[in-house]
Amino acid sequence: MSADKETILTIEHVTKRFPVADKCMLTACDNVSLSLYEGETLGVVGESGCGKSTLVKLIMQLHTTTSGAICYRGEDLTRLTGERMRQSRRHIQMVFQDPSQAFNPKMKIKDILCEPLRNFNLIKDREAGKKAEELLRMVELPEEFVDRYPGNMSGGQRQRVGIARALALEPEILVCDEATSALDVSVQKKIIELLVRIQREKNLSMIFICHDLALVSQISHRIAVMYLGNIVEVLAGDVLSEAKHPYTKALLQAVFPVEKKEGTVVRPLEGEIPSPLDLPPGCPFQSRCPESMERCEREKPVIEELWPGHSAACHLLKL
């Protein structure tokens, strides 16, 4: 499906290590490779601490990579410096998790929305009000909101402002880090509908970080599953329930369905996610994997394509 589409962002063998106390290294992202196609939503799921947010910060150039390359339209972002790096930020914009903390509470909505444009000298002061109204219309908020402060708005409204601000520069890639996790389900649904509509209109590419598997499966063209800094499985969004990797299967079994269907059992994954500090050699999932074998302790599985559009990193799948 995605083969005929143009690749807009490629993440190639990106590794990020953080130094921690006692000269240890914490590996937050380990040899991650992913690509994002034009007009596509790529969902990234995993438990907390699996490196989702670090990956986002690497893409946004908020952290520098330890090794590897992040190429936007063929240009390696990790090598840019100074003004060229600043200019590159126009193409990739972000929506944050908590809309109550993402804004300066003392700025009016109109200034919040036009700040990115002012940073790049794309707007004159007298045009600001009009531009802000236009952005508010796009996210289905009343134009009168230009003179409000973020404090006088509900969570859902604030998240719409967050989306409008991220889209002010007309980026090609929108990164949403848990953008709907702080919202109620009905508000979440409206925000998702808005994002999907805007994506269609502008042919926007999105990276959608989320821990809600059900939501991700409904809005993503492709899903990448992360575990302890590694991508363990990449598959199309509509076939998530046919996942092959034991970790993805375990995640799916831990979801409580609203309607109890015959034969659905909720089976929690035993144990906790191990510390990323001193990882054993071999498969990162070995300690919790119900089907772990001797080979998994020795050798780390590499992510390989099972068939077009579906890859996984697991020794079991190669038997």
Binding site for another protein (CB under 8 A): 41, 47-48, 155, 184-189, 192-193, 196, 199, 211-215, 217-221, 237-238, 240-241, 250-260, 266-270, 272
Contact status, residue 27 vs residue 54, Cβ threshold 8 Å? no
Contact status, residue 38 vs residue 205, Cβ threshold 8 Å? yes
Q: Which is nearer to another protein, 81 or 186 (CB)?
A: 186
Instruction: Output the smallest distance, CB 58 to another protein, in A.
Output: 22
∠275-70-208 over CA atoms, to 5°? 65
Q: Which is nearer to another protein, 77 or 95 (CB)?
A: 95
∠115-100-133 over CA atoms, to 5°? 40
Contact status, residue 221 vs residue 199, Cβ threshold 8 Å? no
Contacts of 129 (CB under 8 A, 6+ apart): 110, 146
d(CA 64, CA 57): 9
Instruction: Output the smallest distance, CB 42 to another protein, in A.
Output: 11
109-119 vs 128-138: helix axis angle to the nearest 10? Answer: 110
Instruction: Output the smallest distance, CB 47 to another protein, in A.
Output: 4
Give Dmax over CA atoms of the chain in angstroms.
Answer: 69
Q: Which is nearer to another protein, 112 or 213 (CB)?
A: 213
Instruction: Output the smallest distance, CB 185 to another protein, in A.
Output: 4
Instruction: Output the smallest distance, CB 108 to another protein, in A.
Output: 25
> How many alpha carbons lie under 13 Å from residue 249 in its C-beta half-sphere?
12
d(CA 150, CA 103): 7
Q: Which is nearer to another protein, 259 or 262 (CB)?
A: 259
Q: Which is nearer to another protein, 131 or 221 (CB)?
A: 221
Q: Which is nearer to another protein, 32 or 269 (CB)?
A: 269
Whole-angstrom Cα Rg for the chain: 21
Instruction: Output the smallest distance, CB 134 to another protein, in A.
Output: 25
Q: Which is nearer to another protein, 110 or 249 (CB)?
A: 249
- Residue whose C-alpha is closest to residue 186's, from 219, 156, 145: 156
Instruction: Output the smallest distance, CB 259 to another protein, in A.
Output: 6
**Cα–Cα distances in angstroms (integers) from residue 312 to residues 225, 227, 305, 309, in the given order:** 9, 12, 7, 10
Q: Which is nearer to another protein, 38 or 134 (CB)?
A: 38
Instruction: Output the smallest distance, CB 251 to another protein, in A.
Output: 6
d(CA 216, CA 45): 8
